[in-house]
Amino acid sequence: MPDSPVPPAATPAQPSRRAFLKTAAVASAVVAAPLVIPARALGKDGNVPPSERIVMAGIGLNNRGRHDLAWALGENDTQFVAIADCRKSNGMKAKEMIDKKNGNTDSKFYADFRELLARPDIDAIVCATSERWHALMSVLTMRAGKDIYCEKPGSMTIAEGRALLDTQRRTGRVFQTGTQRRSEVGFMYCNELARLGRLGKIHTVYAHTLPDVNKHRWLPPEPEPPKEEFDWDMWQGPVPYRAYNRGYLAWHGDPWTHTGGIGEWGSHTIASASWAVDMDHTAAVEYEWPKNDNGDQMVCLWPNGVKLVLNAQGWPKAGVPGMWRGSCGVRIDGTEGWCACADGYTVPEVSHPSLLKEWKKLVNDYLLRSGRPVGHMRDFLNCVKSRRTTVADAAVSHFAMSTVHAANICVQLRRNLKYDGVKEEFINDPEANRLRSRPSRDPWQF
Amino acid sequence: MKSQSLILALVLAAMISLPARAQYGNKPESDKYIAVLKSEAELKDKSDACRELGRVGTKEAIPVLAALLADEKLSHMARYGLEPIPDPAVDDAFRAALPKVSGRVKIGVITSLGFRRDVKAIEPLAALLKDADAQVASAAAVALGWIGTPEAKKAIEAVLTTAPEAIQAGVYDGALKCADVLMQEGKAAEAIALFDQIRGKQFPPHIRLAGTRGAILARGEAGIPLMVETIRGDDPNLFNAVLRVALELKGPKVTAALADELAKAPAHRQTALIETLCIRGDAAAGPAVVGLVKSTDKAVKIKAIQGVSRLKEASAVPLLLQLTADADGQIADAAKASLVTIPGAEADKAILSILAKDDAASKRAGIDLVARRRVLDAVPALQKLAGDADEGIRQDAIKALGDLVSAEQIGVLIDLLNQAKSAQDIEAATTALSAVATRADDAAADKLIAALAKAQPPQRRALIRALGAMRGPKVLAAVRGALKDTDPQVVDAAVRAICDWPGKDVAADLLAIAKDSENGTHRVLALRSYTKLTKERGMQPAQKLQMCKEMLALAKKDPEKKVVLSALSDVQHPESLKMVMSMYDEAGVREEAGAAAVTIAEKILAGQPKLVAESMEKVAAGTRNADLANRAKALLADAKKKLPK
């Protein structure tokens, strides 16, 4: 049994966990009651009545976030009441979506998420800030007694991931990291093939990464936008302060704000790969520097002896065959065959068509056995109700991201590393160990 | 197995509280960055130097970084440099800075003291719990939680129930952290005392939940009565919270207590308890879960059916076998799925016994189960059933053999193919042979090829289909030979095998079929497969174009031309657009040619505005598809903008 406390209940222990109407009195101190109550709010037309709905709010829902928001709004047991964003224009776009769904304009906008987290009527948060905020926002949300669906990656350092995991355990809140491929049928099927031994003994798993290399930037200052429109200090959050420059808003590729090409896709693909080989409860323990700066073809080793190979050349290009036809691919190789899945696959690719013979049956068996739904947001919402641990919980996030961070450190130090997965420290490498954490900028505190 | 919180303590110890080493860091690099900090360098360079000192800084870096702690612009970066340095002098520096800073900078220093678990900081941090700045006081409470000693606990307890509202969240978080650390460091009595306070009714529900979790865990097995009491309680949130605790609390007594509660709990809680027991994975819970397989509550029944498999409870097999025939399809399916995965030779034996039953339904259910479980011992029984008078049983058995026999045993299936009593039997044998062929070796291929020589046409067709699932030069030669067979069905199988063959080895065969076959379907199939070769990874546009030209020369009828047009649409080359447009006036393929032309034009517009403009003008005027016409017009407008004035 993995050492992560995985979930209990597959079904809600109590049919109704929250009386929305009872809490309306509390909520009304902050949110004005709608003048006209839509039929949906009354539970008519097959809708879930308010007392059964999960009261939700969003934080930092820009492009990807509004995709997540659309997912959550599409579920009939959610009731969004608020949005927080340090960029007002982004926040108002999300508010428009919420208001359109609610049929009124009552949802509340906050420039400071702390005011939103202080509301006692909110059960759960969808967070899609940029990644420097993910672990901290998740910790603060769970400390406030709320559940959270937070976009990936779950952390910027090994220590952040540990704080996230410990907070989740200590508070017993529900956390889902946004590695949605763990709720998609193609990846489920690959796992089942591996688990049932259809591929023989698994020896290697390939995880798609991007070839991008992070580089520290320091851009010339520009006039800062008005704070009521864009709170620049808040936007930077826990990372080192730099004077405003719009260039920083493209935050990919900067190690203070991004986990690089390895983290961008590895946060997804390593979490998919570890699932397939039952290594969700540990980071990889060996990292072989591939003599480049982007980690492409880095060979890592899990404690069970399975190799994890990072592949930044997964997509085909002229003259170079690729491993996948889509993004965020994973390939599992065993002694008797292989299977691969990536975005856009209607069915996984397999070493032989016979491996697809049980396509629907194995997926259905998995769904039946696990009680999981297809759909990552749905899984989160189910777990909010049942208090079960999600399919991509804080442990999954922490250990997959620990592998990402260790791989990044391996590339940064340009040498092979060994990692003690129990002590969570590099073996005989003090310099690497000093890179496992970095302090949050004041006043932010884990 | 060490708990994760204990690991946290170890991590912190490793990261922070190591005793000063005689040597650490990298002196040449450290000296270089120290010099930057001592210079008049710009903020950017000093920030970078602080960051790098976090990685390589030596003892000499500590006072230089410490001097920056009060600097609002560099305080955070100074912490960045100082925090990872394994030297108690860093703690001294943070403590010394504490009274000299205020506001946000003070919060940063407090946070670093907490992160480094500096026990000497407990007294000054305790004093800050009463600071007028609520954020400072909250930060101090959280930092005391990280430090997590009995002295830190005392400091937090002093304000636990009296803290003003503005700092309560910080105090509660600090208390929980502190109790957690105490528990993991073996100070159970201290931890229990603090957790018991935190689960008091005066605290917010989410804090009480966390306190209850800790109060049970910190007691170990002695926490079982509290766990049980909470399970029996009315609060659904506490019930759910305690199930999570049940996963963290180890030992057979915990399993026994949970199993004991299983029978007493109401149905809506039984499913949750079963799931918890399953995740714990303690087989001792198996009998209790078996008891609920007979539950009258459907959700509980299904959960128990799934649970016995996960708990490897072989005694449930007879019950599960009965339920495979349940009138409720969901229950029957759950029972079958459980029987597929429940491990053990006993289960294999029980499931095998169904094959000997008299009724057809049982036999067919048994065949399905042995195939899905991969019960290799079932092969002799299945061979017998492959001769059964019942057609359904016979064919299921033949197909199941395809899942179970090894490549060495492929002769069994060849014999069954030759003995087939009907076309359906042949089809079943073909499926089985194809399944084995996917995992077969050269020796098995030899057996199939040898069988070809003596086989009748229907059997030859089946053997070719099976060979189509294999690879290698010998197999390809056999399939090529079948292209000349006198029986059209055998030829059909061979053509399809060639068309499904991966890679360029069959390129010439495909072109030959497209050129010479009198069967229109075969010509189209061959062209389609040849098209796939143009899409192989690494194929250059010029190569694709040449292959399309070869195909076009062979395409006689409209369906064949449509295949070529489809291939051309994927070739980003001006020549491909010209070829497509040369077919635009042919009424039978006009729309397909127009669609291909627009697709190519969209890709080559930038370099070929003139050609695109000419082509799109023609497509826009000629197509009957309004969407296509609009795309063509848009391209035409874009192309015209790019043309020289």
Buried b (16+ CB within 10 A) or exposed e, B531-553: bebbeeeebebeebbebbeebbe
Bridge partners of A420, per DSSP, are A425
- Cβ-defined contact of B139 to A443 (cutoff 8 Å): yes
Q: Is the pLDDT of residue A316 over 60?
A: yes
Of A159, A156, B198, A129, which is closest to residue A148 (Cα–Cα)? A129
Nearest residue on chain B to A218, judged by CA atoms?
Answer: B44
Residue B375's contacts (CB-CB under 8 Å, 6 or more residues apart) are B348, B351, B352, B369, B404
- Cβ-defined contact of A6 to B279 (cutoff 8 Å): yes
Q: How close, in Å, is residue A179 to chain B by CA atoms?
A: 22
pTM for the predicted model, two decimal places? 0.79
Per-residue pLDDT reduced to its tens digit, A198-209: 899 999 999 999
Of all residues in chain B, what percent carry a pLDDT higher than 90?
Answer: 79
B329 close to A (CB below 8 A): no
Q: Is the pLDDT of residue A223 over 60?
A: yes
Q: How close, in Å, is residue B184 to chain A by CA atoms?
A: 12
Per-residue pLDDT reduced to its tens digit, A44-86: 555 677 778 999 999 999 999 999 999 999 999 999 999 999 9
Q: How close, in Å, is residue B135 to chain A by CA atoms?
A: 8
- Cβ-defined contact of B84 to A423 (cutoff 8 Å): no
Nearest residue on chain A to B239, judged by CA atoms?
Answer: A13
Residues of chain B with pLDDT under 50: 1-10, 12, 16-22
Q: How close, in Å, is residue B636 to chain A by CA atoms?
A: 29
Q: Which of A173, A241, A439 sits opposite B112 (nearest CB)?
A: A439
Q: Is the pLDDT of residue A319 over 60?
A: no
Cβ neighbours of A172 in B, within 8 Å: 209-210, 213, 241, 244
Cβ neighbours of B439 in A, within 8 Å: 336, 352, 354
Cβ neighbours of A425 in B, within 8 Å: 10-11, 14-15
Q: How close, in Å, is residue A246 to chain B by CA atoms?
A: 17
Residue A119 is predicted with a pLDDT of 96
Cβ neighbours of A216 in B, within 8 Å: 48, 51
Nearest residue on chain A to B4, judged by CA atoms?
Answer: A166
Nearest residue on chain B to A386, judged by CA atoms?
Answer: B240
B400 close to A (CB below 8 A): no
Q: What is the mean pLDDT of residues A249-256?
A: 94
Q: How close, in Å, is residue B627 to chain A by CA atoms?
A: 25
The full DSSP string for B449-511 is HHHHHH--HHHHHHHHHHHTT--SHHHHHHHHHHTT-SSHHHHHHHHHHHHH--SGGGHHHHH
Q: What is the mean pLDDT of residues A279-299?
A: 97
Nearest residue on chain B to A318, judged by CA atoms?
Answer: B538
Q: Is the pLDDT of residue A30 over 70?
A: no
Cβ neighbours of A442 in B, within 8 Å: 75-76, 104-105, 107-108, 111
Q: Which of A15, A162, A441 sits opposite B8 (nearest CB)?
A: A162
Question: What is the C-alpha to C-alpha distance for residues A154 and A176, in angstroms, rounded to an integer?
Answer: 9
Per-residue pLDDT reduced to its tens digit, A400-409: 999 999 999 9
Tokens of B629: 């016409």
Compute the Cα dihedral for A431, A432, A434, A438 and give only its sign: positive
Q: How close, in Å, is residue A40 to chain B by CA atoms?
A: 27
Q: Which residues of A265-311 form beta strands (DSSP E)?
A: 286-288, 299-301, 307-311
Best mutation target among B76, B176, B270, B573 (most A Cβ atoms within 10 Å) is B76
Cβ neighbours of B112 in A, within 8 Å: 439
Tokens of B343: 């491990």
Residue A39 is predicted with a pLDDT of 46
Cβ neighbours of A169 in B, within 8 Å: 4-5, 248
Tokens of B27: 């002196």
Q: Which residue has the tokens 């008519």?
A: A44
Amino acid making up residue A404? V
Residue A8 is predicted with a pLDDT of 35
Residue B199's contacts (CB-CB under 8 Å, 6 or more residues apart) are B208, B211, B212, B215
Q: Is the pLDDT of residue A11 over 70?
A: no
What are the Cα distances from residue A274, in Å, to A182, A282, A374, A421, B182?
A: 11, 9, 19, 14, 32
Q: Is A305 exposed, middle or buried (0-12, 13-18, 19+ CB in 10 A)?
A: exposed
Nearest residue on chain A to B171, judged by CA atoms?
Answer: A143
Q: How close, in Å, is residue A418 to chain B by CA atoms?
A: 15
- Cβ-defined contact of A13 to B84 (cutoff 8 Å): no
Task: Report yes or no: B372 and B402 within 8 Å, Cβ to Cβ.
Answer: no
Of A268, A242, A131, which is closest to residue A187 (Cα–Cα)? A268
Q: What is the mean pLDDT of residues A239-247?
A: 96
Q: State chain B's mean pLDDT as an integer.
A: 92
Residue A68's contacts (CB-CB under 8 Å, 6 or more residues apart) are A58, A61, A126, A128, A149, A151, A178, A377
B27 close to A (CB below 8 A): no
> SS3 for A121?
coil
B406 close to A (CB below 8 A): no
Amino acid making up residue A435? L
- Cβ-defined contact of A434 to B281 (cutoff 8 Å): no
Task: Report yes or no: B581 and B596 within 8 Å, Cβ to Cβ.
Answer: no
Residue B13 is predicted with a pLDDT of 52
- Cβ-defined contact of A13 to B303 (cutoff 8 Å): no
Q: Which of A3, A9, A166 sits opposite B272 (nearest CB)?
A: A9
Q: How close, in Å, is residue A389 to chain B by CA atoms?
A: 9
Nearest residue on chain A to B178, judged by CA atoms?
Answer: A170
Question: What is the C-alpha to C-alpha distance for residues B88 and A76, in angstroms, rounded to an integer?
Answer: 56
Residue A289 is predicted with a pLDDT of 98
Question: What is the C-alpha to C-alpha distance for residues A440 and A431, in angstroms, rounded to an integer?
Answer: 20
Range of lowest pLDDT (A127-131, A392-396, B7-11, B21-25)? B7-11
- Cβ-defined contact of A437 to B434 (cutoff 8 Å): no
Per-residue pLDDT reduced to its tens digit, A257-278: 999 999 999 999 999 999 999 9
The full DSSP string for A223-272 is PPPPTTTB-HHHHHTTSPP----GGGGS-TT-TTT--HHHHHHHHHHHHH
Q: How close, in Å, is residue A35 to chain B by CA atoms?
A: 31
Per-residue pLDDT reduced to its tens digit, B445-477: 999 999 999 999 999 999 999 999 888 899 999
Q: State chain A's mean pLDDT as an integer.
A: 88
Per-residue pLDDT reduced to its tens digit, A87-116: 999 999 999 999 999 999 999 999 999 999
Nearest residue on chain B to A239, judged by CA atoms?
Answer: B76
B102 close to A (CB below 8 A): no
